[in-house]
Structure 1
Amino acid sequence: MLIASIAIFLTGVQMNLKDSLQKIPVTHVNLSFYIETEKGTKVRAVLDKMRASHRKCALVMDHGKLTGIFTERDIVAKVASKGDVLKKPIEDLMTPSPITMVSTLTVVEASRLIASTPHRYIPVVNDEGVVLGTVTYYAIIKYISDYFPQEIYNLPPVPDLFATARDGA
């Protein structure tokens, strides 16, 4: 979906954007849409921290190593269905061993990876496995729109849509 949107966008915009996105590493995108929490932290404390930080994703760490991810989908699916889980440790509800991407991927490669998974947040790690952040659809779209603001912000919702009949009184 994101790839198709980018392809449609690129047909009307300079092709150097496409070339750039195939060379620019994903680390140039805003990767700050997450919080970190330690393994063993109670679910309520993680939710409070997420709410206070206005984040929908928590990376669960164990002595600096990524062990899991807890997102707004987990909140809806697990917290709502399992009742009183707020006092349990976060590892009882997190998704263990999440999919990650290496920081050397390009923006195009990152968008393809996101499109191929059902996940909205994918942690980005360096060669040593150190977490650098999380990449999201929103971050990629925002990066593209910041790259070409004139072209993006001036586009009508459907660029090639024309009225075939007069409308109104």
Structure 2
Amino acid sequence: MPDPAAAYDTVTCHLGKGEHVTSVMHRSKPPEDDDNDDDDVENCTSESDYDSHSLQPSFESALDMPTSTHWDELPSHHSIKQRAAEEAWKGVRHALRCAVVQSNCMPPHQMCVLCQQQEASFRCNDCSAFAYYCSSCLQNVHDTTCVLHTPEEWKDGTFSPVNCVTSLDI
């Protein structure tokens, strides 16, 4: 019987100053038996990790043609392209996974985008991807103009939806 935990990958992103977020992501296909368990747990340190991973595919290994004279033993053009695509994906997978995890975290010491005076503890993806608010600014904006938005509060290491509508006059 296959191990149910093998269908998930754990990604830990370090946000700085001792803060980190661990995310468990569903794996789209079972892991290959390559005796390398380093793929199961990946660590991201900061946004600078994106620079350390080359986003350019490496085709050299996929394009090495065998020196055989038997045409039946030569790889097809499709299999060469498929191997090149797999190699390219391996090069960017870690950086993309870190980006997904970090996009679901409150940036450290994020100030409110409106007042710029208080530290933000809310976000609203309906307003913008980077709309972080303090509690008073969130109430002011979402009680008057953005009543149908679903803001989220950063609590216990995750965002959870909050209902800030006190009354809706229709």
What is the TM-score when the length of structure 1 is the normalising length? 0.25
What is the TM-score when the length of structure 2 is the normalising length? 0.25
- Which has more helix, going by share of residues? 1
Q: Which has the larger radius of gyration?
A: 2
Structure number with the bigger relative contact order (C-alpha 8 A, sep ≥ 6) is 1
